Amino acid sequence: MALTPRIAIDAMGGDVGVRMMLAGAAMARHKHDGLRFILVGDEVQIKAALENHPNLRAASDIIHTDGVVTGEDKPSQAIRKAKSTSMGLAIDAVKRGDAGGAVSAGNTGALMAMAKLALRTMPGIDRPALAALLPTLGDNDVVMLDLGANTECDATNLTQFAVMGAAYARTAMGLQRPRVALLNIGTEELKGTDEIRDAAAMLRAAKGLPMEFTGFIEGDKLSRGDVDVIVHDGFSGNIALKTIEGTARFVTDLLRRAFTSSTRSKIGFLISRPATELLRHHLDPNNHNGAVFLGLNGVVLKSHGSADAKGVANCVHLCAELIEKDITRQVTEDLANFQSGNTA
């Protein structure tokens, strides 16, 4: 039976804060009227913003705090004031069971540290990983993890990421046997670090998992759609993610410059507008907003700090879907099967 989604929103996170976070939550509820919310932050600001969203107001409780985690706060600083900040109290609502998941657009390092301390990692998980869906040229998006939570990873960490990423792909994309690959500098078996080669050997030997390990993938194939899950350490993954995002901005800015350079170019833009609109939609990060911390005993999602209302709504929708489909249980079961298969 599907779980009823109740989501704790860190209303004070993000570049715009209360207004944008609540506009996104309201947009999500218009499409999914079963959603309920706990809005955490300054009560005066939240109530003022709710005047524009009666549908959201009717489905929300407010937890007041004037404490905020800033972008400059170190994770250790954020942890010390967790119980008095909107981010910390949103996570605490998940820990208490008052909410099925939490969404924040605040400081990523602080969110990771507080979520890990409050919710703890699942049995058999050494480190949680940050995972996101990114667009491809294929029929499905691709899950990439880790995207920055762990700068250094051993072979065991990478295999755990693979199992968690496959469970996420089955949940978020409805794939029965996601294709999983390790990011490497080449596709040959002898390429890469010891950690990557050892992880590949462990995944090839794994039996009975609902996933297909396809080997290594290189950086120029990330967006081709040839695989469904790409696994890497957080250092490489964060660089890859920022490169993809930067390339998307480069392409859109280049097109904008080209189409405004002359009268002929402007006419060309009008003719090709349907195609350029499709490209703009495909590259818009708001359409793929929301990264989840996999491996925790609870659902916590990170929204882009610069996300607009549509982006926040997409993140909230993803959080609700992961709650409804019980991603925590699916990851736990897959990990147990993987570990039993390796110890049999």
- 315 in a structural domain: yes
Q: Which residues, at least 6 apart from 99, have a Cβ–Cβ distance to it below 8 Å?
A: 6, 7, 8, 38, 90, 93
Interhelix angle 234-259/263-283, rounded to 10 degrees, is 150
Identify whether the C-beta of residue 292 lies closer than 8 Å to the C-beta of residue 300.
Answer: yes
User: 343: number of CA atoms within 13 Å, CB side?
Assistant: 7
| 155 and 282 fall within a common domain | yes
161/278 Cα distance (integer angstroms): 32
Which stretch of DSSP H or E encloses residue 157? helix 155-173
pLDDT for the residue numbered 254:
77
- 344 in a structural domain: no
pLDDT for the residue numbered 344:
47
| 175 and 235 fall within a common domain | yes
Q: Number of folded domains in the chain?
A: 2
Question: Sign of the CA dihedral 302, 308, 309, 313?
Answer: negative
95/206 Cα distance (integer angstroms): 32
| 26 and 135 fall within a common domain | no
* Letter string b/e over residues 239-262, b meaning 16 or more CB atoms within 10 A of that residue's CB: ebbeebeeebeeeeeebeeebeee
pLDDT for the residue numbered 232:
94
| 276 and 182 fall within a common domain | yes
Residue numbers of the domain that contains 44 = 1-125+295-326
| 105 and 94 fall within a common domain | yes
- 192 in a structural domain: yes
- 239 in a structural domain: yes
pLDDT for the residue numbered 65:
95
pLDDT for the residue numbered 4:
66
Specify the CATH number for the domain of residue 161. 3.40.718.10
pTM of the model: 0.87
From 193, 144, 122, select the one nearest 335 (Cα to Cα): 122
| 192 and 78 fall within a common domain | no
307/276 Cα distance (integer angstroms): 21
| 98 and 189 fall within a common domain | no
- 336 in a structural domain: no
- 342 in a structural domain: no
pLDDT for the residue numbered 310:
92
307/24 Cα distance (integer angstroms): 9
Identify whether the C-beta of residue 144 lies closer than 8 Å to the C-beta of residue 162.
Answer: no
pLDDT for the residue numbered 1:
42
89/186 Cα distance (integer angstroms): 44
| 226 and 136 fall within a common domain | yes
* Letter string b/e over residues 25-48, b meaning 16 or more CB atoms within 10 A of that residue's CB: bbbbbeeeeebbbbbbbbeebbee
Cis ω for the linkage preceding 42 (within 30 of 0) = no
- 111 in a structural domain: yes
Helix (H, G, I), strand (E, B) or coil at 115: helix
| 199 and 164 fall within a common domain | yes
146/149 Cα distance (integer angstroms): 6
Q: Name the burial class of residue 97, with classes exposed (0-12), middle (13-18) and buried (19+) by CB atoms within 10 angstroms of its CB.
A: exposed
CB under 8 Å, gap of 24 or more: what pairs does 58-66 form? 59/29, 59/35, 60/25, 60/36, 61/37, 62/38, 63/38, 63/39, 63/89, 63/93, 65/40, 65/41, 65/89, 66/42
pLDDT for the residue numbered 207:
79
| 94 and 224 fall within a common domain | no
| 142 and 189 fall within a common domain | yes
List the structure tokens of 62.
């407010």
| 108 and 139 fall within a common domain | no
pLDDT string in tens for the chain (344-residue length): 455 689 999 999 888 889 999 999 999 999 888 899 999 999 999 999 999 999 999 999 999 999 999 988 898 998 998 889 999 999 999 999 999 999 999 998 899 999 999 999 988 888 899 999 888 888 888 999 989 888 889 999 999 999 999 999 998 888 989 999 999 999 898 888 999 999 999 999 887 788 999 999 999 898 899 999 999 999 998 898 888 878 777 877 777 777 777 776 666 656 655 555 555 555 566 677 889 999 999 999 999 888 899 999 999 999 999 999 999 988 888 888 877 765 44
- 131 in a structural domain: yes
